[in-house]
Structure 1
Amino acid sequence: MADRGAPPAAVPPPDDWPARPETALALNRMGSFDWDLESGRLHLDETALELLQVPPGTFHGALTELGGRVPRADAARLDALVSQALKNGSESYGAYYRVRFPDGLHWTYAQGHIRRDAGGRPVRIVGIIRDATEELAQSAPREQDDDRRHQTTVVETTTAALAHARSVQDVIDFFNDPRAVEYLGCDLLVVGLLESGRIHLVAEGPSEHFIPGTRWTRVDDNFPMSEVIRTLTPRFIESPEEFGSCYPWLYERIKDIGIASAAYLPLIAQGRPIGAIGLLYSDSRGFTRHERNLFIALGSGLAQSIARAMLFDQEHDLAEGLQQSMLPRRIPQVPGAQIAVRYRSARMGRDIGGDWYDAIPLPGGRVGAVIGDVQGHDTHAAAVMGQLRIVLRAYATEGHSPATVMARASAFLHELDTDRFATCTYAEADLATGVVQLVRAGHIDPLLRHTDGTCRRLPVSGGLPLGLSAEFGRPEYPVTTVELDPGETLLMFTDGLIEQPGADLDEGVRTLATAVREGPYDLQKLADRLCDMAGEGLGEDDMALLLLRRHGPAVRGGGRLQQHIAPADPEALSAARHMIRAAVRAWGARERSDEIELVADELVTNALLHTDGPAVVTIRMLTGPQTRVRVEVEDRSSVLPRRREPGESGVSGRGLLLVDRLADVWGVEPRGTGKSVWCEFAVPDRHRQDAGDG
């Protein structure tokens, strides 16, 4: 009996035992590769070339020679995995990906070991490639579930991304983004929108695959996009043969790209087509019922996003058109001043409101400047703005004082029976003297830029916003008077220019003042710079800006003096005479002192004699090509004075004959509740005389 504990009889090993590594790799369909990262050369053995479907003799060591054999999505995922391993210091990596075979896609697995130099820099990757089709066959049901979850995620992700699109351009930008094909899981996409009965291709990705002749197409053309718009039915193309037989012209131009299947979906909103989207794939695929249902859901979500964006664009265009029609069509040329204005609408959908500006030429070398903001961001705010701008202009041109202009505008807005109020600043500038009267109704203080470029906030006394002051019975608006020297600039603006997320208005004003100091001197360029600065923000509010710069030489030795004279007040009348006499002598007009005093006395006497209220006498020196002294007498009577000619009976009106003879020029201006009679006297410029004597 044999001894069971004895070792088995010795059997001689095969001649090729143990098997060489290359034999073991070949028998198990495993190839090897060696990638020199410094030179970029790649070595693949015969099995690796077979697994990658590279014909013998056609590979010369360049990675680009393998292009097209791996689906775009798999190639992008593999490239990202290798790049991450090289950067994070990993020693190896492994990944599954698909390779195109004549009978379809086969799964392949690649594993690489990363060699690094002494400094840790990757220099070489040595690895293996093996067939993984049978390995993954057992996990096919699980992969199908994963694919379904992935497809569902594509719909959810795309819908969520487009939910933030506020305009059609936002939607187009999403599809033109190179990452869009990754979001949608396709190799190529195209989006077309119906415009004036034709299909406008608004997005394609990647853009290098654009096909000439497809930018504009007709609905009755033989294109899949045209077909789905005509029939309102999705079109699924599952093979290159089907593509070529149904759409030969298009397929001839895309077959070199490697497109083998596609899904074209109509974009339908409210029962009518608005466009179509095409998702194209480089592999032949049969679209399952589940996939088709998901594609239909994707098309429906995209259509709703685009329709919503179109509605926002239409509302925005309507509101912007309304607001632009309410703003002045042009800014008048005002002697002695340069004016620059800017308006920028909000960029967020229909958020356009009631910001406005206006420049109003006034008699006597004056100009009115207005900046305002009606509460709200809609077409109602724009409509209220237009009405306010018109009444402010009307009250100003009637001759009302700045405080009265603001009070009347507030009463008007209150009587409109609207729930809106408005903030506003009104400035009336006398360009000859530089005197600026400012009235503020709940608005932001303006800025003043000096001739040396420095800029400061200009404190202006204020009242309640327009509409609220009348509602609460507080119509008083204090007037702030400042001097605007030649070359200085008054900046008036709305809060849309300075509002920044997370910062208060004071911080915004300081930022604006810095920008004004550092900005160009040219007024139009400065306005553009400030507008661009505002455009760098989020654009959630509209913005209006008005810049007023005074030109001309500086006023020397003079200014503006004023005296109120009540009826039956001889002391006030005497004080006015003394004021006039002192002013004209101080301003170097001694030669015409008697004439000026006599005419002023005549005008004041007429005002007190023929009206029941007080008179206001103002004297100022005007500069320019000729120095002049101007006298104005304002009263509350709207009856215009009448000059009697020689030979007419009566006494009244004969004083104007004296005014006409002594003054160089005279006239009458309406002033709201009354009128102003003015006259001017040319006087020698003592500074020019002194320079000539020297």
Structure 2
Amino acid sequence: MTDEERNRRSGEIGPTERLAMNRTGSFDWDLDTGTIDVDDAGLLVFGVAPDAFDGRPSTLVQDLDPAERTRLERVIRDAITGGRSSYTAHVRLERADGTPQWTHVQARILRRDSGMAHRIVGIVRDATAEVTHSAFVLDLEKRREAQTTIVERTTHALSRAVTVDDVTAALTGPGGLARLGAEGLALGLVEHGSLNLIALTGESLEAFEDFRSRRLDRGLPLAETVLSGRPRFVPSFLSLAQDFPELAPYVNRMPFRSACYLPLVAQARSLGGMALFYRRRSTFNADERNLLLGLAAIVAQSLQRAILFDEERELATGLQATMLPRRIPEITGGEIAVRYHAAWSGRQVGGDWYDVIPLPRGRVGVVVGDVQGHDTHAAAIMGQLRIALRAYAGEGHAPSTVLARASRFLAELDTNRFATCTYAQVDLAGGTVRGVRAGHLGPLIRHTDGRVGRPKLRGGLPLGLATVFGDEEFPETRLDLVPGETLVLCTDGLVEQPGTDIETGLAALAEAVGSGPPQAEALADHLSERLWERWGSGDDVALLVLRRSPDPGTPKAPRIHQYIHQADPQGLSDARAAVGQALVDWGMPELADDAELLTGELLVNVLLHTEGGAVLTLEVLPEPVRRVRLSVQDRSSAWPRRRTPGEAATSGRGLLLMDAIASRWGVEPRGEGKAVWCEIGPGAANGNGNRHASGNGNGNESRTANGATGGR
């Protein structure tokens, strides 16, 4: 009697039985003969009946899936040929009842002295329980990792949301549904007893547009969730048609299997509700429900912050709007556009302002300024200062006087605040601009050919400080706007960016002014889009664009105007080129060379012998004798004098040259200065230097070329 038989008779369990009871068996594989000996427990693991086993390895694994069999054979072959002494493998097979079973094989390879494998011994066991548990744990960890990812991504996206629109964009924009782990979303806010859907995204959800705004009652699942404050999880989406008959026509058209309705509550205040829709999910376990409730809390907190921000913004911008002019007066001879953009800083409202002031004698005053600080106090001071400055300007005072009195007014308010501004009186009929600065940015001028200049506007101290320091001097600078030119005033919010030199912003502004459309309104929109959206959101921005109406003449008598600054040598070359090109465009190329030569002589005299720039006008005089007229206007009251240059002289020949080329020429008084003009083309040229020079036919004084109109 063997030990095992004695153990069975005595009631004890032997080692083999213990292994068999745990579905563990052994095998001995003779590689020389190709046979394998497997005990009954091992055969049971492989699902092979003992009386049906023929000792062949292929019979042992015949019930394995072909892919599993191939994988097991590869593991064994690699172990034998690779010189290893052991191998392990997990293989999946199906039991007779169709349930899956995982079998673990662990074997040792016996080799001869030559290293050739001749025998494999090992064990096989049913590892289904541990593999299933491991898979469950892995799946649980995977689901928890996915839930953590959903929370992290949603929190990160909403952390950057400032307004309600930002919140909805984070939830419905690219990747929004993926972050939530859903295929559809509806978001509603409670407003004045109604539930308004502010976001709908997902396939077929546009059908819910019919419920965009409804009274808050229990006829719909989202409204019921908001009223009860309890979530509603719907494993079967089609069941909504039974519980809410009003939804029946819509539910059957949608591709969802389940949905959940979540209340949005923050600080005990019901803000609204959120609905998530799913294509594949049909259950909501405890972990998933907790995750969804956590998402709802995150969205509710973001919405609460955004609603508060929007309310503060509405309050701040409303206050600012009451301080700015309600309307801009219409002007004759030009067009004006203004823009104001508030900084994205909640209740912090700034002191930037603009104003357009009708003045006596058809003039107009334009001002752009900025009161120190970003709070309601700054806005209130701005409103008072704007009204005071408007009153001083309307009385007809000179620009320097207007700013001096405004500085005194601000100092007397005793607010410890100062303000900067640029103020200009503009005569659109004559194009004269008298500008003053008080610690503010100077203007930009866009010329008719698209070039942009930054004239040097002399300035004084900021308003308020000027009075405190006893220096209320605000020197005036005269500029000229020719027809079609544009004056641009702005506050520093349009050109400043933290960490960037202001010259970079000014260069960007000049480039945007030059590349924009000529019309005032279109140019203001262009600047707002190009610059304020680029870096102006951190500060308030006030912008004023004033354009003098263009004067192109008529098709039969075209006309161009151009301003040449005294400190701009390139402007002389540009003016000559513009004159030549214009005559070519007008079909008079034979006069281009003479016109360019005379343009240079007239402009050089002004730039050398006066203290300001010049306005060049080129026009074609209509029939009966079609000819070209050049006129250069300056600010000097001194009229030119004829003199005879010596052989070594470097000047004095300009008017002699003009006398030889022009048909007629002369001098006319113009406001505070004069205009020197000449005509070329078919006319009264007789070659003797005694051409008649007259005014423009409107009563101006006539002189001869040999009289007081001699050259400088």
Provide the TM-score with structure 1 as the length reference: 0.60
- In the aligned structure 1, how far is the partner of 2:303 from the partner of 2:634? 66
Question: Which residue of the partner structure matches residue 228 of structure 2?
Answer: 231
- CA drift at 1:279: 2.1
Q: Does 1:170 align with 2:154?
A: no
Question: Which residue of the partner structure matches residue 314 of structure 2?
Answer: 317
Question: Which residue of the partner structure matches residue 341 of structure 2?
Answer: 344
After superposition, what is the alpha-carbon deviation per residue over 1:201-228, rounded to whole angstroms, capped at 9, x for unaligned? 2223325433343322332143221111
Question: Which residue of the partner structure matches residue 610 of structure 1?
Answer: none
> 2:325, 2:355 within 8 Å by CA — same for their partners in 1?
yes
Q: 1:433 to 1:201 in 2, by over 3 A?
A: closer
> 1:191, 1:276 within 8 Å by CA — same for their partners in 2?
yes
- CA drift at 1:239: 3.9
Q: Tell me which of 144, 147, 152 is aligned to 1:151.
A: 147
RMSD of Structure 2 on Structure 1 (CA): 4.3
- CA drift at 1:170: 0.5
Deviates more, 1:383-392 or 1:406-415: 406-415
- In the aligned structure 1, how far is the partner of 2:426 from the partner of 2:249? 72
Q: Tell me which of 196, 199, 202 is aligned to 1:203.
A: 199
Question: Which residue of the partner structure matches residue 109 of structure 1?
Answer: none
> 1:229, 1:266 within 8 Å by CA — same for their partners in 2?
yes
Question: Which residue of the partner structure matches residue 272 of structure 1?
Answer: 269
Q: 1:208 to 1:413 in 2, by over 3 A?
A: farther
- CA drift at 1:406: 1.2
Question: Which residue of the partner structure matches residue 540 of structure 1?
Answer: 538
Map residues 39-58 of structure 1 onto 2, 5 A cutoff.
Answer: none
- CA drift at 1:281: 2.7
Q: 1:16 to 1:178 in 2, by over 3 A?
A: farther
After superposition, what is the alpha-carbon deviation per residue over 1:369-394, rounded to whole angstroms, capped at 9, x for unaligned? 10112233444333322222111101
Q: Does 1:138 align with 2:134?
A: yes
Q: 1:136 to 1:508 in 2, by over 3 A?
A: farther
Question: Which residue of the partner structure matches residue 491 of structure 1?
Answer: 488
Aligned length: 481
Deviates more, 1:6-15 or 1:239-248: 6-15
Map residues 11-410 of structure 1 onto 2, 5 A cutoff.
Answer: 25=65, 137-212=133-208, 213-240=210-237, 243-250=240-247, 253-255=250-252, 257-283=254-280, 285-347=282-344, 349-350=346-347, 352-410=349-407
After superposition, what is the alpha-carbon deviation per residue over 1:624-682, rounded to whole angstroms, capped at 9, x for unaligned? xxxxxxxxxxxxxxxxxxxxxxxxxxxxxxxxxxxxxxxxxxxxxxxxxxxxxxxxxxx
Q: 1:687 to 1:345 in 2, by over 3 A?
A: farther
Query: For 2:251, what is the secondary structure of its paired residue?
Result: helix
Deviates more, 1:21-30 or 1:348-357: 21-30
Query: For 1:211, what is the secondary structure of its paired residue?
Result: helix
- CA drift at 1:165: 0.9
Q: Tell me which of 528, 550, 568 is aligned to 1:531.
A: 528
> 1:192, 1:202 within 8 Å by CA — same for their partners in 2?
yes
Structure 2 residues not aligned, in runs of 5+:
1-29, 38-51, 71-99, 101-127, 552-616, 618-630, 639-665, 676-693, 705-712
- CA drift at 1:167: 0.7
- CA drift at 1:5: 13
- In the aligned structure 2, how far is the partner of 1:256 from the partner of 1:330? 52
After superposition, what is the alpha-carbon deviation per residue over 1:558-586, rounded to whole angstroms, capped at 9, x for unaligned? 85879xxxxxxxxxxxxxxxxxxxxxx98
- CA drift at 1:436: 2.3
* Identical-residue share of aligned pairs (%): 44
Map residues 411-450 of structure 1 onto 2, 5 A cutoff.
Answer: 411-450=408-447
- CA drift at 1:251: 5.9
Query: For 2:230, what is the secondary structure of its paired residue?
Result: coil
Q: Tell me which of 474, 478, 499 is aligned to 2:475.
A: 478
- What one-letter code is carried by the residue in structure 1 that aligns with 2:543? L
- CA drift at 1:495: 1.9
- What one-letter code is carried by the residue in structure 1 that aligns with 2:259? A
- CA drift at 1:535: 4.1
- What one-letter code is carried by the residue in structure 2 that aligns with 1:543? V
Q: 1:460 to 1:239 in 2, by over 3 A?
A: same
- What one-letter code is carried by the residue in structure 1 that aligns with 2:332? P
> 1:239, 1:284 within 8 Å by CA — same for their partners in 2?
no
- CA drift at 1:324: 2.3
Q: 1:486 to 1:228 in 2, by over 3 A?
A: same
Q: Whose Rg is larger?
A: 2
- CA drift at 1:474: 3.0
- In the aligned structure 1, how far is the partner of 2:395 from the partner of 2:510? 35
- In the aligned structure 1, how far is the partner of 2:69 from the partner of 2:236? 30
> 1:557, 1:587 within 8 Å by CA — same for their partners in 2?
no
> 2:668, 2:674 within 8 Å by CA — same for their partners in 1?
no
Higher relative contact order (CA 8 A, sep 6+): 1
Q: 1:320 to 1:6 in 2, by over 3 A?
A: closer
- CA drift at 1:276: 0.4
- In the aligned structure 1, how far is the partner of 2:211 from the partner of 2:196? 8
- In the aligned structure 2, how far is the partner of 1:588 from the partner of 1:267? 77
Query: For 1:537, what is the secondary structure of its paired residue?
Result: helix
- What one-letter code is carried by the residue in structure 1 that aligns with 2:228? T
Deviates more, 1:380-389 or 1:283-292: 283-292
> 1:391, 1:409 within 8 Å by CA — same for their partners in 2?
yes
- CA drift at 1:173: 0.9
Q: 1:336 to 1:202 in 2, by over 3 A?
A: closer
> 1:243, 1:261 within 8 Å by CA — same for their partners in 2?
no
> 2:422, 2:438 within 8 Å by CA — same for their partners in 1?
yes
- CA drift at 1:426: 0.7
- What one-letter code is carried by the residue in structure 2 that aligns with 1:269? A
- In the aligned structure 1, how far is the partner of 2:320 from the partner of 2:306? 21
Q: 1:239 to 1:133 in 2, by over 3 A?
A: farther
Question: Which residue of the partner structure matches residue 656 of structure 1?
Answer: none
After superposition, what is the alpha-carbon deviation per residue over 1:10-43, rounded to whole angstroms, capped at 9, x for unaligned? 9999899969x9985479799xxxxxxxxxxxxx
Deviates more, 1:438-447 or 1:399-408: 399-408
- CA drift at 1:171: 0.8
After superposition, what is the alpha-carbon deviation per residue over 1:488-540, rounded to whole angstroms, capped at 9, x for unaligned? 32211112222346532211211222222232233332222222212441422
- In the aligned structure 2, how far is the partner of 1:235 from the partner of 1:544? 50
- CA drift at 1:288: 4.0
- What one-letter code is carried by the residue in structure 2 that aligns with 1:346? A
> 2:369, 2:419 within 8 Å by CA — same for their partners in 1?
yes
- What one-letter code is carried by the residue in structure 2 that aligns with 1:438? G
- CA drift at 1:449: 2.1
- In the aligned structure 2, how far is the partner of 1:22 from the partner of 1:347? 73
Q: 1:433 to 1:181 in 2, by over 3 A?
A: closer
Map residues 503-582 of structure 1 onto 2, 5 A cutoff.
Answer: 503-538=500-535, 539-551=537-549
- What one-letter code is carried by the residue in structure 2 that aligns with 1:170? D
- In the aligned structure 1, how far is the partner of 2:67 from the partner of 2:159? 54
> 1:319, 1:378 within 8 Å by CA — same for their partners in 2?
no
> 2:237, 2:259 within 8 Å by CA — same for their partners in 1?
no
Question: Which residue of the partner structure matches residue 575 of structure 1?
Answer: none
Query: For 1:400, what is the secondary structure of its paired residue?
Result: coil
- In the aligned structure 2, how far is the partner of 1:23 from the partner of 1:413? 98
> 2:637, 2:674 within 8 Å by CA — same for their partners in 1?
no
After superposition, what is the alpha-carbon deviation per residue over 1:98-129, rounded to whole angstroms, capped at 9, x for unaligned? xxxxxxxx9xxxxxxxxxxxxxxxxxxxxxxx
Query: For 1:210, what is the secondary structure of its paired residue?
Result: helix
> 1:166, 1:349 within 8 Å by CA — same for their partners in 2?
no
Structure 1 residues not aligned, in runs of 5+:
31-105, 107-131, 563-584, 590-618, 624-683
